[in-house]
Structures are given as structure tokens and as C-alpha cells.
Amino acid sequence: MTDAVRAVNLSKTYGAGAAAVVALDKVDLTLPQGTVAALLGPSGSGKSTLIKALGFVSPGDTGEVFFEGRLVVKDGRPLADLAQLRRRHLGFVFQKANLTSFLTARENVEIACEFGGKTDGRRRARELLDYLEVAHREHAYPEMLSGGEQQRVAIARALANEPSLILADEPTAALDSVRSRSVMELFRKVAHDRGAAVLVVTHDHRALDVFDVLYEMEDGRIRPSAHRSV
């Protein structure tokens, strides 16, 4: 099984001097394909910073990030077209206001298919919405969707380009525990059915049994979670 993404000795500091905040401190992390991993940790521990670095959005200051075995970012310098990498191989889901407000549910998925170079985006978008059981809302704008529906559309969109890596930053923060759990189970299903690596930042400890691996962050450092045994 190949690694979807691998971070080696990844560090990131915000600010400088006395105000400097070390958000990532020599992080090593490997996510194999087909696994769903949770990223836990207190507020300010660096979870979002790690998601941005692994998602090739804001690179770290030092260290290396490999994507599917290929070195893509070294010491903050991109060695490939990162936007292209994102649109072809990555999917993002985040807390809220995930969707493009002026596109309908279906169009939100369709545009991701288009960016990902997928032909027949409309049909594919319908299939994905169907897979996530929101096909009946395909013509609705995001503001007309419930939080759970929005999140499911966002997940459909994250799947549109058949990504090798899905990064989700607190995707269930706006949902009740029942819906939250069903979203987590969906991630598991996606990882296991489609072979993608999924990394989910969550504070919700009730759904941790869904994950294959748990990581915990503290002060910018990462370690396998103690909750593993739960």
C-alpha cells in the first residue's frame, strides 16, 4: 500500500521574536492509502496548521512533504504546481461555509469534477450526491441546505476528483452527535471503498471508534493517541 502523504520533520513558526508561536514542531506523519485517521488535540495545538501544510495550502518553514512518494514541498518551497495537485488529487472538507455560495449543490460538485479534469461532471455529480443521499437537494443553494446536508454536499465535492487524500478540519463541529457520527462513518466508507487516505480533525470523542488511527497534537508535536485503545 503506497503512502498518500508523508511529512518528514515538518516545522512551522508564526511570527518572530518574543511573539513567535511554534505551530508545528518537527512533525513526522505518514498516511497510507485506504486509512481514515483522526487528529485530536487541544485548541491551538497546531491541527489546522498541519492540515494546511499537508494540503499544500500553506507550507511549513522547514521539513519535507511527499505526495504519493514524490517530494512536493521542501523547506517551504514548492517543487510542483500545488494548485494543480490540489485540484487533481486532494479533497477538502472543513467546519462550515464550505461550499461556493452562488452555486447549487450539484454545481458545487460539478465544478470540482471540472477542476479535477473529470469528464461528464454533471452525471458524476449526481452519482456522488446520490451516494451521499442528498440527490434530492441538487438544485438548492448552500444557504437553503441544513448543516448536515451542506456537509454531505461538501464531502461529495471532496470526492469529485477521486482524490488520494481527503483532509477534513472539524467537519462535524456544526452537527449534532447523530449526524456527526454518520459523517465520520462516511469518511471511513470513503477510505475503505475508494482507497483514499482521510485525515479528520475532530474534538468529538464519541465517534473515535470509527477511525483506523488516532493522532494527538500538543504544542505543535504529534504522537499516536492515547485514545487509541478506546
Partner 1 sequence: MNLALRDVRRHIARFVGTAAGLGLLLSVVVAMQGIYAGMVDDATILTRAMRADLWLVQRDTVGPFAEASRLDPSVEARASAVPGVRRARPYNYQLIQREHRGAVLRIALVGLGWPDDPGHTLPLVRGRHLAQPHGEMIVDASLGLGLGESLVLAGEPYRVVGLTRNALTSGGDSVAFMTVGDTQLVAFDQSAEATLLERQRVVERLRRTDLGRGQPALEDLARDPRWRAPALASPPLAAVLIDADPHRIAEVQATVRRWGDVTVYTQGEEETLLLSGVVQRARMQIGLFTVILTLTAAIIVMMIMYNLTLEKTHDIAVLKLMGAPRGRLLGLVLQQAWLLGVLGYAVAYAIGELLFPMFPRRVLITTAISVIAPIATLGIVTLASVVGLSHVMRIDPASALEG
Ligand X SMILES: Nc1ncnc2c1ncn2[C@@H]1O[C@H](COP(=O)(O)OP(=O)(O)OP(=O)(O)O)[C@@H](O)[C@H]1O
Minimum CB distance to ligand X, residue 7 (Å): 14
CA pair distance 213, 200, nearest whole angstrom: 10
Burial class of residue 29, CB neighbours in 10 A (0-12, 13-18, 19+): buried
Residue 48 binds to Mg ion (criterion: CB under 5 A): yes
* All three cell numbers of 160: 469529485
Judged by beta carbon, residue 15 or residue 224, the one nearer partner 1 is: 15
Q: Which is nearer to partner 1, 107 or 138 (CB)?
A: 107
45 binds Mg ion (CB under 5 A): no
Q: What is the rounded distance in angstroms from the CA atom of residue 139 to the CA atom of residue 105?
A: 6
For residue 56, the minimal CB distance to partner 1 (Å) is: 9
What is the total count of residues that contact Mg ion (CB under 5 A)? 1
Smallest separation (angstroms) from ligand X to the CB of 23: 4
**Distance in Å, CB of 226 to partner 1, minimum:** 27
**Nine-digit cell at 173?**
463541529
* 124 sits in which H/E element: helix 121-131
Residue 14 interacting partner from Mg ion, ligand X, partner 1, none (CB closer than 5 to 8 Å by kind): ligand X
Nearest residue to 181 via CA among 150, 154, 202, 199: 202
The site for Mg ion (CB under 5 A) is made up of 48
